[in-house]
Structure 1
C-alpha cells in the first residue's frame, strides 16, 4: 500500500507540473486552481508514503520518476523535443531508482 501512495504522489506531481505550463505563469484561473489541487494531493499522498518508506528512498523515487514522466508529458503532450543526452540522463535516473528500490538495504520492502 505504501508504494501505491508513492505512485499517487508521483502521478499528481506530474499532473501539477504539467498544469503549471498550462496555467501560463498562473494567469489562467482554472489551470492554476487545478495545479494547486494536484500538488495538495501529491504532497498528502507523499506524506502518507513517508510513514513507512524512508525519506531518502521515497524522495529519490518521487523526484526521479517525476522527472522522467514530466519529460514524457512534455514530449507527447506539449510536442517539445528531448535530445539524446537528455534521454541518456533519464535512463540513468531510472537505473538509479531501480538500484535504490531493489538492491539498497535502506529501502523499505
Structure 2
C-alpha cells in the first residue's frame, strides 16, 4: 500500500474510533471499537511515516482531516449542530491541508534537485 493510502486509512480509523467514542457515551458496547480504531489509526500513521511521509505533513493532514470528518459525521450521525463559524473553520482546515501538501511537494522537488546537482 502506498504512503497516501496508509495515511487515508489512519484518518478513517481515527474517525471511526472517535465516532465509536461518541457512541459509547450512550452504549458502552462501543468501547472495544474505540480501542481498535485508535490502535489502527496510530499503527497506520506510523507506517505512513516509515513509507516516506514527513511528520509535519502526515500529522497535519491526519489531524486536520480527522477534525473535519469528525465534525461533519457528528452532525450527520448524532445531530450535533455546526455554527456558521464552525463551517468557516472547516473551510480553513481544507485550505490548510492543501497548503501543507503544496508546501511538501515544493520541498520534495527542491530536495530532489539538490541531490541531482
Give 1:81's aligned residue: 81
Matches within 5 A, 1:1-109: 1-24=2-25, 28=28, 30-51=29-50, 52-104=52-104, 105-106=106-107
Normalising by the residue count of structure 1, what TM-score does the alignment of the two structures yield? 0.90
Higher helix share: 2
Q: Name structure 1 gaps, 5 residues minimum.
A: none
CA–CA separation in structure 1 for the residues paired with 2:93 and 2:108: 17
How far apart in 2 are the matches of 1:39 and 1:15? 8
SS in 2 for 1:45: helix
Specify the SS of the correspondent of 1:91.
Answer: helix
**Of the two, which has the highest radius of gyration?**
2
User: Retained in 2: the 8 A contact 1:16–1:36?
Assistant: yes
Aligned partners of 1:54, 1:107: CA distance in 2, in Å? 10
Unaligned runs of 5+ in 2: 110-117
Work out the CA distance in 2 between the residues paired with 1:22 and 1:82: 18
Give yes or no for contact 1:6–1:45 (8 Å, CA) kept in 2: yes
Deviation at 1:103, TM superposition (A): 3.5
Give secondary structure in 1 for the equivalent of 2:78.
coil
Normalising by the residue count of structure 2, what TM-score does the alignment of the two structures yield?
Answer: 0.84
How many residue pairs get aligned? The number is: 106
